[in-house]
Chain A
Amino acid sequence: MSIDKAQAAHVAKLARIKVEDDALPALAEEFNTILGFIEQLNEVDIEGVEPMVSVTPMRLKRREDVVTDGQMPDKVLSNAPDAREGFFAVPKVVE
């Protein structure tokens, strides 16, 4: 499996990271080095093996489904790059 420039651009798009066109060949090459390393996993016989879900077997705790937190919009917004009138502000999303 080898990644080309177009695939690298697609992955960057999916990851929402802007990559300039001229940086794509080097990126594709790095992906290929890493994927080449990962390919070793194909040597392992995984027939009948369950994928790991939880490294320490434990039942997730349950709690009552009640509100235990909230009423702190100022704290929630205190680190926002752009907050107005109690809301996060972003560029226009719909025309």
Chain B
Amino acid sequence: MTNDLTKLTIAEARDRLRAGDVTSVELTEACLSAIDAADALNAFVHKTPEIALDRARAADERLQGREEAPAMCGIPIGIKDLFCTEGVPSQAASRILDGFRPEYESTVSRQLKDAGAVMLGKLNMDEFAMGSSNETSVYGDAVNPWRREGDATRLTPGGSSGGSASAVAADLCLGATGTDTGGSIRQPAAFTGITGIKPTYGRCSRWGIVAFASSLDQAGPMTRDVRDAAIMLQAMCGHDMKDSTSADLAVPDFEAALTGDIKGRKIGLPREYRMEGMPAEIEKLWADGAEMLRDAGAEVVDISLPHTKYALPAYYVIAPAEASSNLARYDGVRYGRRAKLAQGDGVVEMYEKTRAEGFGHEVQRRVMVGTYVLSAGFYDAYYNRARKVRTLIKRDFEQVFADGVDAILTPATPSAAFGLGEMSESDPVQMYLNDVFTVTVNLAGLPGISVPAGLDTQGLPLGLQLIGRPWEEAALLNGAYALERAAGFVSKPAKWW
């Protein structure tokens, strides 16, 4: 019985909670035991059972069979470690924030809390959200609940929101928050057979979320299906005075938009996404997805996004540049960890030792690359050039949308989940290629969603991505809903943990 409770979708749990059929305490206890039994996945890195049960009891009070209780009321969820949560460790999976307990709550997690959602704990991730495999975490790797058929190799759940993906796929929580700077919601969602949406830049407040690259970062939900993504996104987004880039726009009813009717909608297939050396399985999945949308009444057209090739290199200038600036605050003075100093060490030694000890290898590398591209003499050649290319990448999308395209269909990732450690010998650029289909969306500030659409020959999930027009998450979610219904993906990982 308890096991079945953790498998409920948010929509099912909401309906049963409102009907008084199940209590939030029952749901929460079921999730807490599932979490305790899943340490092998290393998804939850700070468990908060007491907070969870307190909030579950409060949610049950609030529910009392009330139909008008918020949709997220009583729903047990996980929060990525990147979100500041009041009084609860929030260290962005970094050693440098060891012991940090924020005195405040991020806007997104506060909105979820105010809606009655129950926080079960904090979720593993790549350090400062820099990574595509959850292997840069100070907590160690998060592990994918999926395995290749007949093979016990530990696989990555993707990154950076790897703990969120693993926890939702393994039924440890009903949904989780993620953040996405270059693909960090959509790639792990695809690797674990779940749904993840990055909304339009500005839809969710970034206040209280540890900043990586401020012009690219967006929060979003990671859930079992599209309906749940609509419900949870609804609770997460909206205008916030504390984030000057958050949009003062009305938030539509996302769930109400899920009709599955996409007749006459124009779906673009960008030819530049047909990468050289793309595995045949990915190519087939993509073609199948296009066919499904066509069968559902959409018009599928070939389109061109000519600057696609330059998105990753532009990203690897802009994101490290912003990171080097954002991460300057970790200096061993105001919060987190300070290195042990030698006799006579001054303030500069304190900074240098603290940052050398506190930041992991990938974070150091990106901070230094960012420092370099912003330094005198290189600013124009690298940073300004990348920002101009970014303008062109956004213009590509604007052109296509102006031509009447409603959404764009692409693969979510260039491969299925790979083994932990398998990429450790390659140069950093090989790892960066994971984001090749997702990063354009961040650079253009658009909404994008990853939907599980099939299994590869080794039995691992593969995802498709739909990209929408700015602020049209409702239509995007509906397109994803149509795709989800046509794909009929129901596989779950066989429990081994």
| Chain A interface residues toward B at CB < 8 A | 3, 11-12, 14-19, 27, 30-31, 33-35, 37-44, 46, 49-56, 58, 60-61, 63, 72, 75-76, 78-82, 88, 90-93
1/0 contact trace for B453-471 toward A, CB 8 Å? 0000000000000000010
Q: Do A16 and B331 touch across chains, with their CB atoms under 8 A apart?
A: yes
A72–B445 CA distance with the chains assembled, in angstroms: 36
Contact A46 B244 (CB under 8 A): no
The verdict on A16 contacting B372 (CB below 8 Å), with A34-B316, A79-B100, A81-B337 known, is: no
**Cross-chain pairs A/B with CB under 8 angstroms, 30 sampled:** A15-B367, A16-B348, A17-B359, A17-B367, A18-B353, A18-B355, A27-B368, A31-B368, A34-B428, A37-B313, A38-B317, A40-B313, A44-B389, A51-B388, A51-B391, A52-B390, A54-B245, A55-B390, A55-B443, A56-B200, A56-B445, A79-B99, A79-B101, A79-B102, A79-B103, A79-B334, A81-B333, A81-B338, A91-B347, A92-B346
In the assembled complex, which residues on chain A have CB atoms less than 8 Å from the CB atom of B349? 18, 91
B138 CB, min distance to chain A CBs, angstroms: 17
Measured CA separation A38–B307 after assembly (Å): 14
Determine which of A40, A49, A91 lies in contact with B309 in the assembled complex, contact meaning CB atoms within 8 Å: A40
Nearest-neighbor residue (CB-CB) of B384 within chain A: A51
> If the complex has contacts A11-B372, A12-B368, A14-B371, are A88 and B334 also in contact, measured as CB distance less than 8 A?
yes
A66 to B248, CA, bound (A): 21
Residue of A nearest to B315 (CB): A38
**What class of interface size applies to chain B in its complex with A?**
35 or more
Residues of B within 8 A of A49 (CB): 388, 391-392
Tell me, in angstroms, the Cα distance from A17 to B331 when the chains sit together.
10
Is B352 on the interface with A (CB-CB < 8 A)?
yes
Which residues in B have their C-beta under 8 angstroms from that of A55?
201, 215, 390, 394, 443-445
Interface residues of B in 340-373 (CB under 8 A from A): 341, 345-353, 355-356, 359, 364-365, 367-369, 371-373
Q: Provide the residues of chain B in CB contact with A37, threshold 8 Å.
A: 312-313, 316, 429, 432
Total residue contacts A-B, CB cutoff 8 A: 164
Is B386 an interface residue when CB atoms closer than 8 A count as contact?
yes
Give Cα distance in the complex from A11 to B126, angstroms.
Answer: 24
Q: Is the Cβ of B356 less than 8 Å from the Cβ of A61?
A: no
* A50 partner residues in chain B, CB cutoff 8 A: 388, 391
Central interface residue in A41, A55, A82, A90, by most chain B CB within 10 Å: A55
Q: Mark B137-181, 1 if CB is under 8 A from A, else 0.
A: 000000000000000000000000000000000000000000000
B329 to chain A, nearest CB (A): 12
On whether A52 and B387 interact (CB within 8 A), knowing A11-B372, A79-B101, the answer reads: yes
CA distance A3 to B41 in the complex (A): 40
Is the CB–CB distance between A80 and B388 below 8 Å? no
Report the minimal beta-carbon distance from B355 to chain A, rounded to whole angstroms.
5
Complexed CA–CA distance, A88 and B356 (Å): 21
Judge whether B134 is part of the interface by a CB distance below 8 angstroms.
no
- Contacting residue for B355 out of A16, A76, A90, CB 8 A: A16
Chain A neighbourhood of B328, CB < 8 A: 16
Contact A16 B316 (CB under 8 A): no
Cβ contact within 8 Å between A80 and B335: yes
B334 touches A91 (CB 8 A): no
Q: How far is the CA of A80 from the CA of B333 in the complex (A)?
A: 6
A58 interface neighbour in B247, B333, B337, B385, Cβ under 8 Å: B247
Not counting A16-B331, A46-B388, A52-B390, a sample of 7 additional A-B residue pairs whose C-beta atoms are within 8 angstroms of each other reads: A16-B351, A31-B369, A35-B369, A39-B313, A52-B388, A52-B394, A79-B103
Q: Give 7 closest A-B pairs by Cβ, nearest first.
A: A55-B445, A51-B387, A79-B335, A81-B338, A18-B352, A18-B356, A46-B388
Q: What separation, in Å, do the CA atoms of A49 and B392 have in the docked complex?
A: 8
Residues of A within 8 A of B333 (CB): 80-81, 88, 90
CA distance A4 to B372 in the complex (A): 13
